[in-house]
Structures are given as structure tokens and as C-alpha cells.
Amino acid sequence: MLRVAERLGVSSSYMARVCTELRVPRPPRGYWAQLEFGKAPARPALPDVRAGDITEWSPGDFIGTNERASKRIAKGPSPTFHGVPVVAPSIRRRSHQPTAEKPSHPLLVGIKPFFEKTRDSETGILRPYKRLLVDVLSSKERLDAAIGAADKLFQTLTSRGHRVTIAPAGGQMRRAEVDLRETPRKSDHQHSAWAPERPTVVYIGDVPIGLTLFEMTEVVEMLYVGNSQYVPVRSLTPERRRRYPEPRYWTTTMDLASGRLCLQAYCPSWRVSWVKRWSEEKPGHFSSLVPGIVQELEAVGPELNAQLEAARIRAEEEHRRWEDEQQRRREVEERARQEKCRQDARKDLLAAIAGWDEARRIDAYFIEAARAAEHLDVDERHRLLGRISLAKELVGEREPLEILLQWKAPSERN
């Protein structure tokens, strides 16, 4: 473990956590000593991959805490008193120990403080700073109820053999948009709500279904009372209402948290559009909806599987068409490149031939000039030959073979 961790640039304890989350068996305590004496246990095989499992990890990747939380829950929680672990002395009677609370689903263990550390919100729906959280949206007043409702749903799904987890990184799953309003209004503007970094999904067999549990908002008549503050009109008594006469104080409508929960299930694939919502009619009634929700999710699983398979076939066909189009484009570009190389080679060859003809004419001119110098007196002859030397130096000389050797044929051009 130390060597592997050093090679990957992490600590050995962190490497152990990675192995736990990826369900990779690692040597137990005392293994190497047993191995030295030939008494080490056999190396176990890797477990089968479950739907949504993380199968690869690189330094810097997220690994989560699902498996570690599940192991802690499987061992059973320690007794607590007002959230503080209780260690009973050996002489304390067993009947005096506080009763342990029912364990929560691994995704919900210890999440409340992260939701309470939040940004300001005009609707009252919490907007936590942490992004890698379960997909639950609620007001501070209904946070416990929302976590309890999510736990009821997740535990029921888990008891039915369905795995609820946060979608793995790089899984190409998208989160469907959520309209928090009790009655969605496409034409109206709504305040942006918090969104987790990755969807929360349940696997019905091998089919992922996204889950978003949120507290709906409702239209509330609000009264401006000064100092940039608004209060719900319904919370004012007639006497207080008369303290704010118009036109100095006015009323408007705002979307505020309603206290009622809603579950939105959706297909996290970009190619399949399916969304279903289940809403509370009264606060606290979500638990009664859970059995029906689970049945509907189980029933829609095969249908979504068929749609996903059809979408996969369409995607493969589109990809093949795209590859064919790219191949045709490359062939056209290659033919155009070859034609350009041929034209460039021809142009350069004709230019070389023309340059050679020009060089022959220049040479003939200098030969004729030198022949004419033979009929002049000595001083004039030397003067003329000097001028011919200067002219040849200026023009330069190129051999026809040298020009041909430097020329590139079409096949030699990139």
C-alpha cells in the first residue's frame, strides 16, 4: 500500500479509502508476515461490477464515501445522547444506555450541516455552498422533513434491491431542470435554484433513473413594509395591515417555499426525455406516496431500458454517418491536396525551365560581348572584360542539372 500510494502521490491511508470505495480487496493486517512463512490466505478475486460503480480512479478524482458509510452502518451506530457519542463505563447497567437511532441511508449521513451552510435565497430554498451532495432542495424549516422523506424513499428502494447513489464522475449523466413552482409557468421568470454537482440516481436493474426531492414554492401575496423588506399578507392581522396604507406601502406576489415536498424522477440520458413528478397535497404526507412511487419506478424501468437501447442504436447510426461524412471530407481534402501539389510542381518546373532559357540568353549575351572585346585595344578590352565579370557576378549562374535536382515532384510534396 505504501509503494502504490507513493507512486500515485497520495498517502497510504487515502489509498486504503480508494480501495474501499472501489471495492478492491487489500491485504489484511499481518498478511506480509504470514506470506513470509507461507501461511497467507489466498488472494480474493475482484467483485462483480454493479451498475453505477466507480471502476477507475486517478489522483484528483472524486471517490465518495458510499462504501465506507455502508460499512459503518452495517457495524451498527454507537449510542448517542443529543448527538454526542456515549461511552458507558463497565459498571453502568445496560438498561441505562440510550437507545440508538435507526441508521440513515449512506447518502444522507451527516449532510444536514452542509445544507445549513448556505447562500441567501429569495424563495427560502437553501442554496448550500457544497456541490457534491444528494439532490435534495428544501427550506431550513423543512430540512429535517426533506431528509427524512429522502431516507424513507432511499431505504424503500434499497430494500427492493435497487441501488441509490450519486452518479459516477464521467458517466455522462445529466440532471433534468427542476421548476420549484407548484404550478410551472414557462413564460415567467423563476429564481435559479441550487443544483448538485452530479445527479442522484437509482438503478432499476441496470437502468439509471435520476431523483430530485424538493420543496415546492407557491405564489404568495407580499406587502412591502419599508427598508427593502416584504412580509406575507396572510401573516398580518387586520390591525397590522392598517399600519401600512397605500400608496406608500404596496403589495406584490413572490414565490416562497410552500412546505410541501415533490419528487421529480427523470431519465438522465440526453437522448431520452422522460420526467415524472409526485407532489404532496399536505406537508408530511410524502411517506404515504413512497410505495406507489417505487412501484411506478419499477414499472417504468423496462420501458426506459427499451428507449435507451433504441437511443443507443440511433446514436451508433448517427456516429457511423458522421464517420462516413468525415471520411468523405478527408478524401475530398486529400484529392484537393494532391491536385494542388501537382499544380505547384508543374508551376515550379515551368518556372525552372523558363529560368534556364533566360540563363542561356544571358550566357549568349556575355559570350558575344567577350568576342566583341577581342577587337578592341588593350585598355578598352580590359575595361569591357571587367564590366562583364561584374555583370556575371550580379546575375549569378545556375546549372540546369542543379535546378532539376532541387525541383520536387508532386509525390514529394506534403
| pLDDT tens digit sequence for 176-192 | 999 888 877 665 666 67
User: What confidence score (pLDDT) does residue 93 get?
Assistant: 42
Task: Indicate the pTM of the whole model.
Answer: 0.67
What is the residue-averaged pLDDT of the chain? 83
Q: How many angstroms separate the CA atoms of 373 and 169, rounded? A: 90
Q: How many angstroms separate the CA atoms of 289 and 293, rounded? A: 6
The phi and psi torsions of 277 (rounded to 5 degrees) equal -125, 145
Of 37-46, 140-149, 209-218, 281-290, the one with minimum mean pLDDT is 37-46
Q: How many angstroms separate the CA atoms of 225 and 242, rounded? A: 12
At 364-385, the pLDDT tens digits run: 888 888 888 888 888 888 888 8
What would the grid cell of residue 293 be?
412511487
User: What confidence score (pLDDT) does residue 87 get?
Assistant: 45
Please state the rounded mean pLDDT for residues 44-51.
83
At 279-297, the pLDDT tens digits run: 999 998 999 999 999 999 9
What would the grid cell of residue 262 be?
415533490
Contacts of 405 (CB under 8 A, 6+ apart): none
State the amino acid at position 319 in one-letter form.
H
Spatial CA neighbour of 153 closest among 280, 258, 304: 280
State the amino acid at position 269 in one-letter form.
S
Quick check: 31 and 40 in contact, CB under 8 A? Answer: yes
Query: Among residues of the chain, what percentage have pLDDT more than 90?
Result: 32
Strand partners, 277: 264
Spatial CA neighbour of 307 closest among 252, 361, 270: 270
Estimate the crossing angle of helix 286-373 against helix 378-395, to 10 degrees. Answer: 170
| Residue 104 three-state SS | coil
Q: How many angstroms separate the CA atoms of 226 and 52, rounded? A: 52
**pLDDT of 88 strictly over 60:** no
What would the grid cell of residue 186 be?
414557462
Contacts of 106 (CB under 8 A, 6+ apart): 65, 66, 69, 70, 73
At 339-364, the pLDDT tens digits run: 988 888 888 888 878 877 877 888 88
**pLDDT of 256 strictly over 60:** yes
What would the grid cell of residue 184 be?
410551472
Longest dimension (CA), the chain: 140
The phi and psi torsions of 119 (rounded to 5 degrees) equal -85, 170
Q: How many angstroms separate the CA atoms of 413 and 344, rounded? A: 9
Q: How many angstroms separate the CA atoms of 103 and 112, rounded? A: 15
Which span out of 91-100, 166-175, 278-287 was modeled with the highest average pLDDT?
A: 278-287
HEC letters along 265-283: EECCCCCCCCEEEEECCCC
